[in-house]
Structure 1
Amino acid sequence: MSTDRSAPADTAGYGDRRRWRALGVGLVAAFMTLLDVSIVNVAVPSIDRALNATPSDLQWVLSGYALTFGLILVPAGRFGDARGRRTAFVAGLILFTLTSAVAGLAGSPLWLIIARLVQGAAAGVINPQVSGMIQQLFRGAERGRAFGLLGATIGISTAVGPLLGGLLIQLGGEQHGWRFVFFVNVPVGIVAVLLGWRLMPARPTGVPDRHRLDPLGVVLLGVGVTLVLLPLVQQQQWHGGTKWLLIPAGLVFLIAFGLWERRYARRQQPLFDLRLFGLRSYSLGTLIGLLYFAGFTAIFFIFTIYLQIGLGYSALAAGLAITPFALGSAVAAAVGGRVVNRYGRPLVGVGLLVVVVGLAATVWVLRGSSHVSVPLLTAVPFLVAGLGSGLVIAPNQTLTLSEVPVPQAGSGAGMLQTGQRIGSAAGIAAVGSLFFSTVAATRGNWSAAFRHSLVLAAGIIALALVAALVDVVLEHRRSRPGSPARSDAAS
C-alpha cells in the first residue's frame, strides 16, 4: 500500500491561518463530543432525583452514548473520505447541538435515553472528520503539532469532564443543574456549525469517490461492534453470564466483515481497507490505543465513584481532584506533538511507563489510613500520570495514522477510535467489576477497592507498554544495516 509521507498535503486554498482556524473549529467540536463521555457521570445523582430514573435508565444514559458513538465511527469516516468532510462534520454537529438541547429539556428517562443515543451517533459522525482533516491539510512536523493539539483535547476532555460537570451542577442547583451539562453545548455548537461550514475542507484529495458506501459492510461492522460493546456497557445491569455470549457472536460478525471487505475491495473502495493493518505503525498503534484507553478511561470512572459515593465528596470536589491529571496531560500533549517525529514510538513507550509509575505512586500514597484528604494525596501522582498520558495519546495517534493515505484518512481514524471506544468499555467493565466486587467483599472498604482496581488499570496500561516496546524492537531491527527490510528499501 502506498503512503502519503512524500505527497504534499492537500492545502489548495488553505493558507496557514485558515488551516489552523479550521483545526481550531475541529478541536472545539471534538472537545464537546468527548467531554460528553465523562461529564454526565457526576450528573447521575441529579438526574436520578429529577426524573425518578431507575438504575437501568441511568446506565443507558451513560452507556448508550458510548455505544452509538463507537458504532458510527467507521461508516462516518468513510463517508467523509468519499463525499467530503465538511458535509459530514457540519451535519453531525447540527445533530449533536439539537440533541444536546433535547436532552437538556428531557421530562422523562426515556426521552433522555433516546436523546443520548442520537447524540452519541452524532458525535461518531464528527470525530473521524477532525482526524481526516488533519491528515488532509497538514504534513510533517505540522501534522505532529496538529495531532498534539488533538491529543491534548482528547486527554483534557476526558479528565476535565467531572470538574466541568461539578461546576455546572453547582451553578444550576442539585435539581436542575444536570440540564446545564447538556445546554452548554448549544451556543458553542451553533458557532461551530457556522465556522465549520466556512473553514472545513469540502472535498478530500483527488477526484471525489462516487462509489457506493458498502452497505453490507456497514451492517456487518455495525452488528459486530454492537454485539461486542453491548454486554460491556451494560454489564452492571445485565445479571447472569449469558450476556457474554454476545461477544463471540460479535466476533463472528467482525470476521465476516473482514472477509467481505477483502472481497469487496477487488471491485470498489471498501468501507475499511484491511491493508491498513498490514502497516505495523497502524496495527500496533491501534492495539496500543485500545489497551491504553481500557486502563485510562476506567481510572476516572472508579475515582469519581470512590470520591462521591464512597467518601461523600461533592461533584465539584471530585472534579477538582482529577484536575492535576488534566493539567499534566495538556502540557505534555503539546510537547509530545512537537517532538513525536523526532523520537517516534519510544516517546509513547516513555509516556506509558510514566503513567504506570504515576498510578503505582497513587496506590502507594493511599495505603493504610490517613486523615489527609484524598484529593491532596493523589494530586502529585495524578500530575505525573497526566504528564505520561500526554506523551501517549497525541504521539500514538500521529504515528498510527502517519502512513495512512489521505483517501482512507477518515475510515482509518474511525477504526482507530472504534478500538479506543471498545477499549474504554472493556476497561470500565473489568475494572468496575473488580471495584464493586471488592467493595462488597470487604464490606464497604472503598479505599481498598480503589487501590485494587487501580492496580488492574495500571496492569492493562502495562500491556500497552509491551506493545510499544515490540514496535520499538521491530523498528530497531528493520533499521539496522544489512537487515532485509533496509536492503529492500535501499533497492
Structure 2
Amino acid sequence: MTSTETTLSSPAEPPQGPAAVADRRRWFALAIVMTAAFMDLVDVTIVNIAIPSIQRDEGASFSQIQWITAGYALAFAAGLITGGRLGDIHGRKRLFLVGIGGFTIASALCGFAANPEMLVASRILQGGMAALMVPQVLSIVHATFPAHERGKVFGLFGAIVGLGAVSGPLLGALLTEWNLFGLEWRPIFLINLPVGIAALILGRRFISESKAPKALKLDLVGVALVTLGLLMLLYPLTRGRELGWPLWGYVSMGGALLVFAALVAYERRKAARDGSPLVELSLFKVKSFAAGIAVQTVFGVGLGIFFLVWTLYMQVGLGWSPLRAGLTGVPFSIAVSAAAGMSVQLLVPRFGRKVLQAGALIMAAGVLLYIWESERYGLSIASWQMALPLVVMGAGMGFIVAPLTDAVLSEVPREHSGSASGLINTVQQMGNALGLGLVSVVFFGEIGDRLTPAQVGPAFVNGFQHALGWVVAVMVAIFLLMFALPKRPAQHVEGAEDAAVGEQESVNPAEGAPVSGSEPALTG
C-alpha cells in the first residue's frame, strides 16, 4: 500500500495519523515481547530456589529433581534453531503467539502437577514452547525497528536480561516463603498464567506479522541433525556430574561433533539445492555475526559457572536462606540494568566495541574484588560487603549484553533474523551447559565428596574462590575475542542516513510496520 492510498483510506485523520499509530503499535509490541523474554528468563532461574520445597511436597527422587531443571534446558536448547526458522517461514508473530500460549499452558500443568513424573513432562513441554517463543523476540525487534533505533531497543533488552537474571531467585524465594493459599512451590509456575494470557491477547492486537520475503521450506533433515547433535552434547554435560562422568558421556560428546560436521555438509547441499537450509551457513561469513557467536558462547560458559557456584556458596557454604541470597543479588541486577541502558544509547555510538571490551575487563575486576573479599571475610562476610563487587560485575555485564546482541544482529538480513536469533540463543545455552559441566571440575573438584558439618563452610568458600578464578580467565578470553568484532556498528556510523530512509518508508496501517526499507551493513 502506498502513502497516498493510506491517506485516502483515512480522510478524517491528519497526514501524520497513521505514522503515529504505527509508532505507538511498535512500542506496545516491544513491551509485549520484552515481557515474554523476562518471563522466560525468570522461569529459568526461579525453579532452583524452590527445589527443596518441591522435593518435600512431591517426594521426588534426586534424579527427578535433576530432570525438572535439565528437561527444560534440553528441550529449550534443542528447539531454538528450529523455532527461529519456523518464525521465518510461517511468521514471527504467529510463532510467538503459539509459543507463549503453549508456555502458559505448560506453566499451568507444572503448577497443578500431581506427581514428579507429570512435573518433569510439563517442564520439558515448557522448554519446547519457550524454544518457539524466545527466538521471535529478537526477530520481531529486528523486523519492527529500523537499524538506527535498534541500539536503544537492545539497551532495553539488556536491562531486562539483568533484571531477569536475579529476579528469578528472589521471586522464587518470596513465593515459596509466603506459601500462598497453602500451595507451597506451585505459585512459581502459576504466576505465569496472568502474564502469559495478557501477552497473548495484547500480542494478537499490537504485534505486526513478518516473515522471510521468499518462500522457505522447513528442513526436516536439518531439524533432526541439529536436535540430535545438541542432545548428544548437552545431555552428558547436564547429567555428567550426577552420573560420575561415565564413558558413554564422552563418546556421546565426541559423536556430537561428527553429527555437527554432517549437519554442515548437508546444509551446504541444501542451500545450493533449494535455498531453504535450517541453519543459514552464509551468516558465518559475516565477520560481526561469527565473532559475536563465539563471544556469546564463551560468555555463556562464564555465566553458567558463576550463577550456580554463587547460589551454592551463599545457601550451602554460608548457610543463608533463599530470601537472603535473593536479596543479596539486587545490587547486581540494578547495575546490569543501568549499564545496559546507558551502554547502547550513550557509549557505543562514541566508543564502539571498546565499550564491550571495557565491560569484560570491568566484570573481571569485579570478580577479582569478590575473591579478595571472600578471602578476607571468610564465613563472616555480610550481604552489604558483597554489594561493591556485585555492582562492579553487574556494570561490566551490562556493558556486554546489550551491545553484543546489537553487534551480532546488525548485519543480518531480515529474512534470516529468525535463524540468526535461534543460533544466538542456542550457543548461549550451549555455553551455559558447558559452564555447568565445568562446575564439577572447578568447584566440586575442590570440595571433596565427604565433609563433616564443620568442613562444609570453609570448603565451599575455597571452591567458590577457585571457580571465580576460572570466570576471570573466561572474561580475559572474551576481551581478546572481541577484537574480531567491528569497531562500530553501521547504525551508529550512518544513523542519520538510516533515519532519513526510515522517514520515507511507507507504512501499512493494518499492520503498523514498514513495508519497505533496506538493511544496513557493518563497518570495521
Question: TM-score, structure 2 length as denominator?
Answer: 0.85
Q: Which amino acid aligns with 2:176?
A: I
User: How many percent of aligned residue pairs carry the same amino acid?
Assistant: 34
Do structure 1's residue 456 and structure 2's residue 461 form an aligned pair? no
- Structure 2 distance, partners of 1:338, 1:435, is 38
1:257 to 240, 255, 263: 263
Give the alignment of 1:8-19 within 5 angstroms. Answer: 15-19=22-26
Per the alignment, residue 318 of structure 1 pairs with: 325
Q: Which amino acid aligns with 2:89?
A: A
- Structure 2 distance, partners of 1:96, 1:473, is 39
Q: In 1, are the aligned partners of 2:151 and 2:406 still within 8 Å (CA)? A: yes
2:483 to 458, 464, 469: 469
Deviation for aligned residue 1:238? 1.9
Per the alignment, residue 431 of structure 2 pairs with: 423
Deviation for aligned residue 1:454? 1.2
Distance 1:374 1:252, change over 3 A: farther
2:87 to 71, 80, 87: 80
Deviation for aligned residue 1:461? 2.4
1:102 to 95, 101, 109: 109
Do structure 1's residue 440 and structure 2's residue 454 form an aligned pair? no
Q: In 2, are the aligned partners of 1:141 and 1:341 still within 8 Å (CA)? A: no
Do structure 1's residue 33 and structure 2's residue 52 form an aligned pair? no
Post-superposition Cα deviations, 1:397-421, rounded to whole Å, max 9, x if no partner, equal 0000110000000110100110000
Deviation for aligned residue 1:388? 0.7
- Structure 2 distance, partners of 1:282, 1:34, is 23
- Structure 1 distance, partners of 2:345, 2:74, is 33
Q: Which amino acid aligns with 1:467?
A: L
Give the alignment of 1:15-414 within 5 angstroms. Answer: 15-172=22-179, 176-204=183-211, 206-207=213-214, 209=215, 211-242=216-247, 243-266=249-272, 267-339=274-346, 340-370=348-378, 372-414=380-422
- Structure 2 distance, partners of 1:49, 1:371, is 28
- Structure 2 distance, partners of 1:192, 1:174, is 25
Post-superposition Cα deviations, 1:444-490, rounded to whole Å, max 9, x if no partner, equal 31111111111112212221111013436899xxx9xxxxxxxxx99
Deviation for aligned residue 1:239? 1.9
Post-superposition Cα deviations, 1:232-272, rounded to whole Å, max 9, x if no partner, equal 11123222331122111111111111111111111222112
Q: In 2, are the aligned partners of 1:290 and 1:422 still within 8 Å (CA)? A: yes
Question: TM-score, structure 1 length as denominator?
Answer: 0.90
Per the alignment, residue 516 of structure 2 pairs with: none
Post-superposition Cα deviations, 1:191-224, rounded to whole Å, max 9, x if no partner, equal 00001111222232635x2x32111011111101
Deviation for aligned residue 1:175? 7.5
Q: In 1, are the aligned partners of 2:339 and 2:398 still within 8 Å (CA)? A: yes
- Structure 1 distance, partners of 2:478, 2:116, is 38
- Structure 2 distance, partners of 1:212, 1:472, is 32
- Unpaired segments of 5 or more residues in structure 1? 1-10, 480-488
- Structure 2 distance, partners of 1:344, 1:459, is 23
Deviation for aligned residue 1:12? 8.8
Deviation for aligned residue 1:38? 1.0
Look up the SS of the partner of 2:240 in the other structure: coil
Q: Which amino acid aligns with 1:25?
A: I
Range 368-377 or range 275-284, more displaced: 368-377
- Structure 2 distance, partners of 1:472, 1:214, is 32
Per the alignment, residue 6 of structure 1 pairs with: none
Q: Which amino acid aligns with 1:18?
A: R
Larger radius of gyration: 2
- Structure 2 distance, partners of 1:77, 1:371, is 46
Q: In 2, are the aligned partners of 1:136 and 1:406 still within 8 Å (CA)? A: yes
- Structure 1 distance, partners of 2:354, 2:266, is 36
- Structure 2 distance, partners of 1:455, 1:172, is 38
- Structure 1 distance, partners of 2:269, 2:283, is 15
- Structure 2 distance, partners of 1:193, 1:103, is 19
- Structure 1 distance, partners of 2:179, 2:129, is 26
Deviation for aligned residue 1:13? 9.6
Deviation for aligned residue 1:160? 2.0
- Structure 1 distance, partners of 2:182, 2:439, is 30
- Structure 1 distance, partners of 2:442, 2:123, is 27
Q: Which amino acid aligns with 1:250?
A: A
Deviation for aligned residue 1:368? 4.0
- Structure 2 distance, partners of 1:65, 1:224, is 17
Distance 1:106 1:393, change over 3 A: same
Distance 1:341 1:213, change over 3 A: farther
Distance 1:176 1:239, change over 3 A: farther
- Structure 1 distance, partners of 2:257, 2:245, is 20
Range 260-269 or range 187-196, more displaced: 260-269
Deviation for aligned residue 1:65? 0.9
Q: In 2, are the aligned partners of 1:100 and 1:186 still within 8 Å (CA)? A: yes
Distance 1:14 1:299, change over 3 A: farther
Q: Which amino acid aligns with 1:217?
A: G
- Structure 1 distance, partners of 2:54, 2:123, is 13
Deviation for aligned residue 1:59? 0.8
Distance 1:175 1:446, change over 3 A: farther
Q: Which amino acid aligns with 2:270?
A: Y
Look up the SS of the partner of 2:375 in the other structure: coil
- Structure 1 distance, partners of 2:37, 2:284, is 25
Post-superposition Cα deviations, 1:19-73, rounded to whole Å, max 9, x if no partner, equal 1110100000011112111111111111111111111111111111111111111
Deviation for aligned residue 1:376? 2.1
Q: Which amino acid aligns with 2:118?
A: W
Q: Which amino acid aligns with 2:267?
A: E
Q: Which amino acid aligns with 2:250?
A: W
